[in-house]
Amino acid sequence: MSRSLLRLESRVARALSEIIHEMQDPRLPLVVTVERVRISADLSRARVLISALERAEETAALLNRAHGYLQEELAHEVPLRRIPRLSFHTDPREVL
């Protein structure tokens, strides 16, 4: 994996963490952590590993439904020609 892709994954993880923290959705738990982001080599998809203190599966499903909003907000934070399609997971095996 290239160094630039690793840097991009780290930058996307930080930006998503901030965006999720700022979301005003009462269905989200108070603490949602972005553990890891894996971006495909062609930058078309990003798998995001999250953890939450409660209702982790429900939280991942909620974030998957809000992927359009999250991608739009991510576009403002990370300057890329094409923002990857986000998918949120709670199982680390799905993100490796």
Look at residue 95 in the predicted model and tell me its pLDDT. 87
Look at residue 45 in the predicted model and tell me its pLDDT. 97
**CATH code, 3-94:** 3.30.300.20
**Going residue by residue through the chain (96 aa), what tens digit of pLDDT does each one get?**
799 999 999 999 999 999 999 999 999 999 999 999 999 999 999 999 999 999 999 999 999 999 999 999 999 999 899 999 999 999 999 887
Given CA atoms 76, 66, 30, 23 in this order, what sign does their dihedral have?
positive
Tokens read off for 10 = 């780290």
Inter-helix orientation angle 67-77/56-65, to 10°: 70
Q: Where are the domains of the chain?
A: 3-94
